[in-house]
Amino acid sequence: MDNPLGWLESLPRYSQIRYNLFRFNRLLVHFELDYRQLPVFVLTGSNGKGTAAVTLAGILKEAGFNPGLYTSPHLYRFNERISVAGQEIGSEELNALLSDIRNNLPVLPVMYGGWIHSEILTLAALMHFRNSRADVLVLEAGLGGRLDPVNLFPQPLAVGITSISLEHKGILGETEAEIAGEKAGCIKRGRPLVTAADGAALAVIARRARLMGAKLITWNQDFRWDTELVLPDRTIAPCDTPLTVAARQNRALAACMAVQAFPELPTACLSKLNDYSLPGRFEIVDGSPPIVLDVAHNPEAITNLLQGLKRRYGAARIGFVFGALSDKPIEPMLKLLADTGPVWFAPVADARGAKPLASPGVAAVNSVAQGLEAAELHRPDVICVTGSFSVVRQVRPLL
C-alpha cells in the first residue's frame, strides 16, 4: 500500500492477543525514544477528554511552553490529532513518519499478534514531538486507559479523568464501576489525580488513588466553576462562564492539572480558558436558523448538550438531526432528544453506523442531507446536529 495514512487506517483498532504495554515499550525502544523522563500529562475518561486536553495545552502555551498535544478521534482532518503549540502536523511529515515506521517495524513474537492503530499513531505523535522540540506533552487516551499506549509513562506531571459513562461496554466493562476501573489504570504512584467522575465511578477511582498514594482532587469538592473558577489554591473570575456543566468541568479540570504540576503558574495564564476549543463541541454555525453541531454520543453527553441549548436559546423550538454508531446507547439518546423536539434519524458513513428506525417523535431518513433538509422545512428556531462524530463530519460540508 503506497498511501501511509491508508496503511494506518487498515490496522486493527484492538488486539485480543496478549495486548499489554510491553508491545508499545518495544516500539519506543526500537525507535530510540526514551520516554521515561518525558514531562507528560495524561487524560482519560468518557466525555470531554478532548476539550480538557486542548485547554491544558493552551494554558501551557500561554505559560511559555512549547506543548505537544495528542488527541483522538479527529473530526475533519486526521492532522487534528497531533499538534505542537497549536500547529497541526503537516500531511507531508505525517506521511513521512508513518512510512518510516512501516518500513522499520520490529517483529512481535507470534504470541503477541500484530501492531494496532493506536500503537503506531502514538509512536508517530511522539516522533513529531521530538522533531518539533516540544517541551511538555498532553496525551489523551484513546480507549480505556489501563492498556492505552499513553499509559506507559511512569511519572506523569498529573493525570486527569473526566466524567465516566457507559461506553465501549463490550471492551471496557458492563457497569460504570468496571469502566472506571479501566480508566483508573492511568493513576500513577504519588502523582496528582484530578477527576470529574462521581458516584460509583468516583468510588473506584478514589480507591485506586489511595492504593497508589496519589493526591486526589475532585470536582465540586476541591475545584468547581459556577460564576467563578475555584481551584484548590486560587479563585479566578474569567470573563464568561461556559454554557454547559461539562464545558466548565473539563476546562476547570485542565486548569487544575496545570497548577498541580506547576504551582507557581501565573493566574494570568488561566484567564483565557474559553478561547480553547475543538470543532464540533457546541459549535454554532450562524444562519437562519442557527445550527449547533455537537459530537455528543452517549446519554450523559446528550443531557449536557440539552442543558446548553436551553441556557443559550431558552424556550426556542429545536429540531434535531441525529446519526449514531450501532455500538452506542441509541434508544436513551433518542428519547432525550425527542422529549425536546422532533428528531430526524439519518445513517452515517461508517462501517459501524446504525440503521435509522422511526419511533415516537423520531423520523427515519435516508441521508444526513435529507435529515437536514427535513429539519429546515419544519422551520424550527434552532437545528442541532448530534449523535456522533460521523454525523457532524458529514453535515459540516453541507453548510
Residue 294 CB contacts under 8 Å (≥ 6 apart), including other chains: 280, 281, 282, 283, 301, 305, 384, 385, 386, 392
In the chain, what are the helix, strand and coil shares in percent, each to the nearest 5?
40, 15, 40
343-345, strands of its sheet edge to edge: 283-285, 291-293, 382-386, 318-322, 343-345, 362-364
Q: Are strands 362-364 and 82-84 parallel, antiparallel or unpaired?
A: unpaired
pLDDT at 166: 66
CA distance 368 to 348: 7
The model's pLDDT over 249-308, given as tens digits with 9 standing for 90+, comes to 999 999 999 999 999 999 999 988 988 888 898 999 999 999 999 999 999 899 999 999
Residue 189 burial by CB count (10 A; 0-12/13-18/19+): exposed, middle or buried? Answer: exposed
Q: Bridge-partner residues for 138, per DSSP?
A: 41, 69
**In this model, does residue 314 exceed pLDDT 70?**
yes
How many CB atoms are located within 10 Å of the residue 191 CB? Answer: 22
The tens digit of pLDDT for each residue in 188-225 reads 999 999 999 999 999 999 999 999 999 999 999 999 99
Q: For residue range 7-66, list pLDDT tens digits in order.
A: 999 998 877 666 788 889 999 999 998 877 789 999 999 888 999 999 999 999 999 999
Residue among 124, 2, 77 nearest 279 (CA): 77
Question: DSSP class of residue 48?
Answer: S
Tracing cell 513474537 back to the chain, one arrives at 109
Rg value, the chain, Cα: 21
- Which residues, including other chains, have CB under 8 Å from residue 285's CB and lie 6 or more apart? 291, 292, 293, 399
